[in-house]
Structure 1
Amino acid sequence: MSSYSDILKTPGVGRIIAAQLTARFPFGMLSLAFLLHIERQTGSYGAAGLVLAATSIGQAIAGPLTSRFMGVWGMRRVIVLTLVLCAGAVTAIGVIPMTVPAYMVVGFVAGLSMPPIQPAVRTIYPKMVNSRQLTPLFSLDATAQEMIWVIGPVVTTFVSTQIGTVWGILLAVAFLVGGGVWFVGSPELGRVRIPRSKQKLGAVLKKPPVLLATVVGFLLVGACAAVEAGVVAVFGHGGGEAGFVLAIFSIGSIAGGLTFGHLPIGPWALARRMLIVFVGTAAAAGAMSFWWLSVTLFIAGIGIAPALAVLFAIVSASVKFSDTAEAYGWVGTGQLIGAALGSAAAGFLIDGNGAGGAFWVAGVLAFAGFIVPALGRHWHPDLRGRDASPIPDTEAVAVQPS
């Protein structure tokens, strides 16, 4: 714990963590808010899953593009432009009745314009702390972001079920705009400039650790998205149980992050953490009661934040600083495609087989998330005693002849 307190004493770290968490808080609200709103409008979880899938696909396409644009136009310009477009599209979904195809189109636009807060802050972190503190900082960030998933689902469920689904969406827009403005106004964005990458778009995926992080992130977040849809389907719109179960899921992640997130990262680190996620999600399919889901999903959550910390660290240690934003954009794209497919698959299985089908989807994805890093452990950097900072960008230096 002392390593975390030392990090928070570093000037600006606490502020930038708080600002980016506020800006990203809608990420813990919009999936559930859209699910509840679209299902209420259409009467189908499958339709809601399609809208979520369209939104996530838009985010997936935008991820590496907007991240790379930050190296060309600057972080502030890109974030402000996307913030305005995204807020407008999300508001439209909440207040304008539409057909399912129209909801999908607007959801796609909302995803395509989602501000690239996460790649920006992951790029800033290595410039704020020393190399010894970077891995614990990634762990602290991954743990802190679980507050999004603890508070977000509870707030969204309460507002959407007790006041109205439109207000659940509009509250998410308020956080998006308010948090985005705070983040853009943070002085750290003006102090860090992302160099223009010299590689072609997508070349960073040739780095095995980046590809490994992208694939495992896809499987991990896909499993989480399926769990979220399954929990909502179990408890429906009648009360706040779904929000509380999802909060317990995230509390497990916070506990895991604080307990294990600072441990040295060896080649088996990612596989071990994903095994915990698989065991919990597989057990969750055994019963659809509040207490059983709370216990099993708490166990599953223990592996999530530590696994995310590993993903961030192995990417950081494997690419040049000029490529970090794009690399994190691709990792985010993998996660968002996972969310899209996880939500869609879970939605259709819920319609056809009941809520338990969503947990089977989650279990299959989590098991694959364990197998991939176990087989790909040779691609996994051994960061035990090693600096996780990005590789410095170097250029030839002109030397005058003597």
Structure 2
Amino acid sequence: MRTYIELFKVRGVAVVVWSQLLARFAFGMQTITFAIHLEHIYHNYTVAGLAIGAATLGGALSSPILGRWMALVGIRPVVVATSLIASVCYLLIGFVPIGSTFAIAVSLVLGLSMPPIQAAARTVYPTLVKQEAQRNTLFSVDAILQEIIWILGPVLATVLIATTNTLVPMAVMAIVQVVGGLWFALLPLVYGAPIPRSTKRMGSVLRSKLVKVMIAINLLFVGSFSALEIGAVAAVGEAEVGFVIAMLSIGSVLGGLAFGHRARSPRALSKQLAVVLL
């Protein structure tokens, strides 16, 4: 634990980490809120599933493009613009009477405009910490702390829906997206960070067999987690689903704290995945 305490004493680390977490917090509320809100409107989970899938697809397609744009124009304009667009999409889906097809289309736009916060943060981190050991710890901490999004996000969404209605969490997501995105993007340590331009053609990384394998594995994991969230809404009810998903994320945090800082071996990932499958 002392390793983590010393890390957060480094100038700029704490504010960058917490601001990027807030800028991404709406993502943790999004799946459950969409599932319940759209089911209430269209009276089935099909539209909700398609909308969530469209948002996920949009994010996957736009991430490499937005990353290159950040290298061209800087972090601030890209993050500010995408945060505003994403916020408008939340408000459209929540407050404007639209058909199911348009709701799915807006969800796709939402995914395409998802601010590339994680990519930007991971570009900034090496400028904050110079020692390689601390840098590796910072990346591990980033991966661990992002679980806060998936612990508090679903719970907050569930509590708001249970105590008010589905419109309130939609508004909260829009507000948090703007506030968090602006806070992160306007930090001097962030918008002044240099981003090296890629000299390779877009998609050239897909030539690597290792990258292809990792993409396939991650697609299966993300698909299973998304199916779990939608299924949990239908299985355990709206009032409890946030707490169920929060427990999953708490387990992930505990595992990350226990093993994230330990020495890695060539077979470490294979062993960890084998445990997950069991």
TM-score class, shorter: over 0.9
**Distance change (3 Å), C-alpha of 1:15 and 1:76:** same
| Distance in 2, Cα, partners of 1:161 & 1:92 | 22
- Report what 1:119 is aligned to: 119
With CA pairs under 8 Å and 6+ residues apart, which has the higher RCO, 1 or 2? 2
Contact conserved, 2:74 with 2:191, CA < 8 A, in 1?
no
**Pairwise CA distance, 1:209:** 4.4
- Report what 1:223 is aligned to: 224
Q: Determine whether 1:42 maps to 2:32.
A: no
| Distance in 2, Cα, partners of 1:148 & 1:275 | 26
- Report what 1:206 is aligned to: 207
- Report what 2:61 is aligned to: 61
Q: Deviations over 1:257-278 (max 9, x none)?
A: 1111111222222222223333
- Report what 2:177 is aligned to: 176
- Report what 2:193 is aligned to: 192
**Pairwise CA distance, 1:213:** 3.5
- Report what 2:261 is aligned to: 262
- Report what 1:358 is aligned to: none
- Report what 1:75 is aligned to: 75
| Distance in 2, Cα, partners of 1:17 & 1:209 | 29
Unpaired stretches in structure 1, ≥5 consecutive residues:
280-402
**Pairwise CA distance, 1:73:** 1.0
Please show how residues 244-259 of structure 1 align to structure 2 within 5 Å. 244-259=243-258
- Report what 1:145 is aligned to: 146
| Distance in 1, Cα, partners of 2:187 & 2:277 | 38
Unpaired stretches in structure 2, ≥5 consecutive residues:
none
Residue 161 of structure 2 aligns to which amino acid in structure 1?
S
**Pairwise CA distance, 1:249:** 0.8
Residue 33 of structure 1 aligns to which amino acid in structure 2?
T
Residue 94 of structure 2 aligns to which amino acid in structure 1?
G
| Distance in 1, Cα, partners of 2:132 & 2:209 | 22
Residue 134 of structure 1 aligns to which amino acid in structure 2?
R
What is the number of residues matched between the two proteins? 277
| Distance in 1, Cα, partners of 2:31 & 2:54 | 11
Q: Deviations over 1:296-323 (max 9, x none)?
A: xxxxxxxxxxxxxxxxxxxxxxxxxxxx
Contact conserved, 2:35 with 2:49, CA < 8 A, in 1?
yes
Q: Deviations over 1:124-166 (max 9, x none)?
A: 1122212112222111111111111110000001112321111
| Distance in 1, Cα, partners of 2:257 & 2:27 | 22
- Aligned to 1:139, the other structure's residue is in SS state helix
> TM-score scaled by structure 1?
0.66
- Aligned to 1:26, the other structure's residue is in SS state helix
Computing the radius of gyration from Cα coordinates, the structure with the larger value is 1
| Distance in 1, Cα, partners of 2:275 & 2:94 | 37
- Report what 1:336 is aligned to: none
| Distance in 1, Cα, partners of 2:193 & 2:161 | 39
- Report what 1:235 is aligned to: 236
**Pairwise CA distance, 1:232:** 1.3
Residue 226 of structure 2 aligns to which amino acid in structure 1?
A
**Pairwise CA distance, 1:212:** 3.9
| Distance in 2, Cα, partners of 1:64 & 1:250 | 27
Identity within the alignment, %: 39
- Aligned to 1:246, the other structure's residue is in SS state helix
Superposition RMSD in Å: 1.4
**Pairwise CA distance, 1:190:** 3.0
Contact conserved, 2:31 with 2:52, CA < 8 A, in 1?
yes
**Distance change (3 Å), C-alpha of 1:155 and 1:11:** same
**Pairwise CA distance, 1:188:** 1.5
- Aligned to 1:174, the other structure's residue is in SS state helix
- Report what 1:305 is aligned to: none
> TM-score scaled by structure 2?
0.95
